[in-house]
Amino acid sequence: MTIFDNVREWLDQDKSVRRVADDMQLTSELILLVRMMFADGELKPEELEIFKRICSKSFGIPENDVPGVIQYLKEIGYETTATDAAGMFKGMENDRKRRLLLHMLSIAKADDQVHEQEAELIRRTADVLGLTAEDIADVKAE
């Protein structure tokens, strides 16, 4: 890898962080997903892999940029509660809200077990979003 490759990689990573910083809804969604990874008190490799996949496929954030994005979210998100982050989605269409819950559920199920803390975070988020238990069940069925 040349020095130009290193500079290009750094600039591209910075571009992903800037994109997240410029989009409060994306920032809020990613904060919720990061909180989901840590909801049971332990970050498992499977959860991080799902998070990286979601970042790449749903948000166009390259896998190599994820550590920088997580660092940014850590720096700005420490004062943001899950309720505050979910509140950004109140006015969104139900499809977007359901996708958020689906992403959260994917991370929670990554280790083949949904812990009580993870289920509670999903329930609280659904409540803030105005989604019902039936909506959560529909998301689980997806």
DSSP secondary structure string for all residues of 71-117: HHHHHHHTT--HHHHHHTTTTS-HHHHHHHHHHHHHHHGGGS---HH
Q: Which of 125, 30, 109, 138 is nearest to 74 (CA)?
A: 30
Global pTM?
0.82
DSSP conformation letters of 34-53: HHHHHTTS---HHHHHHHHH
Residue 91 above 50 pLDDT?
yes
Q: So what's the pLDDT on residue 3?
A: 58
State residue 45's pLDDT score.
Answer: 94
Count up the domains in the chain and report the number: 1
- pLDDT (0 to 100) of residue 43: 87
Mean pLDDT calculated for residue range 44-66: 95
Q: What is the pLDDT of residue 62?
A: 94
Q: How confident is residue 7, by pLDDT bands cut at 50, 70 and 90? A: very low
Segments forming the whole domain that contains residue 129: 3-141
The Cα–Cα gap between 1 and 8 comes to: 11
What confidence category does residue 141 fall into, taking pLDDT thresholds of 50, 70 and 90?
confident
Number of H helices, E strands in the chain: 8, 0
Distance CA 60, CA 121 (A): 25
Which whole number is the average pLDDT over 2-24? Answer: 70
When pLDDT is averaged across residues 55-80 and rounded to a whole number, the result is 88
- What is the structure's pLDDT at 96? 86
According to the model, what pLDDT value does residue 1 have? Answer: 57
Query: CATH number for the domain including 32?
Result: 1.10.3680.10
Q: Residue 130 gets which letter from DSSP?
A: T
